[in-house]
Amino acid sequence: MVTNRQITWFCRNRPNGTTLASTLSVAVLLAGLTACTPVAQPHSVESTLSQLGPNRPLAESRLAGMSTADLLAAGQDYLNAKNTQLARLHFAMALQHEPTNPTAFVGIGQALYLQGEGNQARESFSQALKTDPSNSAALLGIARIYREQAFHSTAIEYLERVLADAPDQVEALSEMAMNQDAMGQEAAAEALHRQVVALRPQDPSAFNNLGFNALLQGHYPEAVEAFRQALILRPDDKQVRNNLATVHALNGDEDLALQQFEVAVGKPAAYNNLGYIYMTQGEWDKAERAYKKALDLSPIFYLRAQENLERLNRMRTKSED
């Protein structure tokens, strides 16, 4: 499935000199590039098996009689069920039979990625590419990790290898578009997002990402339309509903923004979110009013609104100096 993207804030200077509160998902938030890529500890079969501790001999004996194909199939089943430890165990045992099997390395990489071990996952994907240089799952896995680490140019290099063999590979197209969004190439990214929507018209994440791109460009009506289509396909997606609420707020439709935020996160949080948007826009009075409303609705439990109100006062004081 195409990756779903959630609103997070920063201000981008637009060509006309004004600022627009833009959005990027947490995964692609521009936080500045470091001088070099973090180095991962080399993956090894032993590192996976050693995590079993005293249960290792029993586990190995039970799995020893399984064929490589059966181990890979079971590992994939566990991976689909998000049971990453058992998935890694089966893939590691498959590597004991076939030490260079690319499918096993990809499976371990995907499990490590789900566990938040991006650098180790990248190393496992790289091991798969040594045997199968055109393995699309490994190339995509590495590209996704580099995007999340804000190494967008490097991510694109891996995605180009996927698209060279499969020009309509949806995940690669979506990843390419997200990298272009992050690099300020929203117009080029829009064409790719639309291509993904055409290829996956029933995927709500595709419409969400198209709406995200429209929001980056300040095309609010188009963003609203795309987010609404995503909600038609997945009505209970709070992430998309928050995105829609944000577009309404940026477009000056406060009532519509509050309605959508309230459905997604409740009334106190709705006013807190609205206050945060106003704060990023320098609308101090509106932000203060929204934060105070959040506190009135939940004075004891809604501490975040109080923290944001204090932050607002610091920002306002600084802007007036």
Residue 275 lies in a domain: yes
Give Cα 298 distance to the centre of its chain: 31
Domain assignment present for 304: yes
Domain contains 303: yes
Residue 40's pLDDT band, with cuts at 50, 70 and 90, is very low
The domain containing residue 319 runs over which residues? 267-321
Q: At what angle do helices 284-297 and 267-280 cross, to 10 degrees?
A: 160
pLDDT of 203-256, one tens digit each? 999 999 999 999 999 999 999 999 999 999 999 999 999 999 999 999 999 999
Please indicate, yes or no, if residue 210 is contained in any of the structural domains.
Answer: no
Tokens standing for residue 237 = 């997606």
- Domain assignment present for residue 19? The answer is no
Given its phi and psi angles, is residue 57 left (phi above 0), alpha (psi -120 to 50 degrees) or beta? Answer: alpha
Q: How far is CA 239 from each of CA 82, 248, 294, rounded to the nearest angstrom?
A: 21, 15, 20
pLDDT of 29 strictly over 50: no
Establish if 319 belongs to a structural domain.
Answer: yes
- Write down the pLDDT at residue 316: 83
Q: What is the CATH number of the domain that holds 304?
A: 1.25.40
pLDDT of residue 37: 33
**Structural domain total, the chain:** 1
Specify if 291 maps to a domain.
yes
pTM of the entire structure?
Answer: 0.80
Q: How far apart are CA 108 and CA 125, in angstroms?
A: 8
311 in any annotated domain: yes
Percent of the chain with pLDDT over 70: 81
